[in-house]
Amino acid sequence: MSTSTTAEAARWFREAASITVLTGAGVSTDSGIPDFRGPQGVWTKNPAAEKLFTIDNYLADPDVRRQAWAARLASPLWTAEPNTAHRALADLARTGRLRAIVTQNTDGLHQAAGTDPGRVIEIHGTARDAACLDCGHRLPMADVLPRLEAGETDPPCLACGGILKSATISFGQQLDPDVLDAAADATRDADLFAAIGTSLGVYPAAGLCDYALAHGARLVIVNAEPTPYEEVAHAVLRGPIGATLPGLLGV
């Protein structure tokens, strides 16, 4: 593990001309959105819930779809507000030195905090939209939630009658190659790459750390739990993300 101090890492952020940030679920926990693998994570507390995030199960089993839609309707996402971490990253974006936020999160809170949507790369999609798995029709999730509240438990696509799903990437679904290319471009362009609130256990997102190092960027990790990249990172910082980021980012 790096022995670099928070002060030294903060200096790197101040001096960097192009910063790319990879964010994970840990950035949104202070907004009331639980992560998946942490001590209070969705899958830690209920391992069976993971099947709701697997595309084969979703397609094959109407009961899985009903459970997934019930969870979506009850999600804390709909009342969540950006927290200090989201706002600190939005402030960084306003300095002109943020190349991009590559996020594994699907909650849209980076954009809600004021970061230009054009600088947010959502590699796992967005929960704020729904998409038909048959015809590809896409619509705001806000148009589907009233149907759930009215009693539909597995709402079909109104355009073709096909299976509707949140516009997120489930296990077994292919990631959008154009989105991955954008993430790679943003990583290649950075002289500092920060992985914040992510376990770095899910690929290809975690592999961006390797790509950043290969192109000469400094790697800074901010996370509550250990990650597989600590031995190669230039700095590893442990404190609460919301309390750590403002000073670290110099905003």
For each of the domains in the chain, give its residue range(s) and CATH number, in order of start.
1-33+83-124+174-251 (3.40.50.1220), 46-74+127-168 (3.30.1600.10)
pLDDT of residue 39: 54
Average pLDDT for residues 158-186, to the nearest whole number?
96
Average pLDDT for residues 125-154, to the nearest whole number?
97
| Of the candidates 140, 143, 99, the residue with the CA atom closest to the CA atom of residue 118 | 99
What is the per-residue pLDDT across 14-42, written as a single tens digit (0 to 9) for each?
999 999 999 999 999 999 998 665 555 55
DSSP string, 115-170: --GGGEEETTEEEEEEEETTT--EEEGGGTHHHHHTT-SSPBPTTTS-BEEEEE--
Per the CB < 8 A criterion, the answer to whether 234 and 75 are in contact is no
- Partners of residue 126 on adjacent β-strands: 167
Q: What's the CA gap between 214 and 88, in Å, rounded?
A: 27
Q: What six digits make up the tokens of 220? A: 């800074």
Q: What is the tally of helices (H) and strands (E) in the chain?
A: 10, 9
Place of tokens 């920060």: 194
Per the residue annotation, which of 86, 110, 124, 215 is the catalytic one? 124
Active site residue 124: yes
Mean of per-residue pLDDT scores for the chain: 92
What is the per-residue pLDDT across 173-191, written as a single tens digit (0 to 9) for each?
999 999 999 999 999 999 9
pLDDT of residue 46: 54
pLDDT of residue 250: 76
Q: What's the CA gap between 101 and 120, in Å, rounded?
A: 5
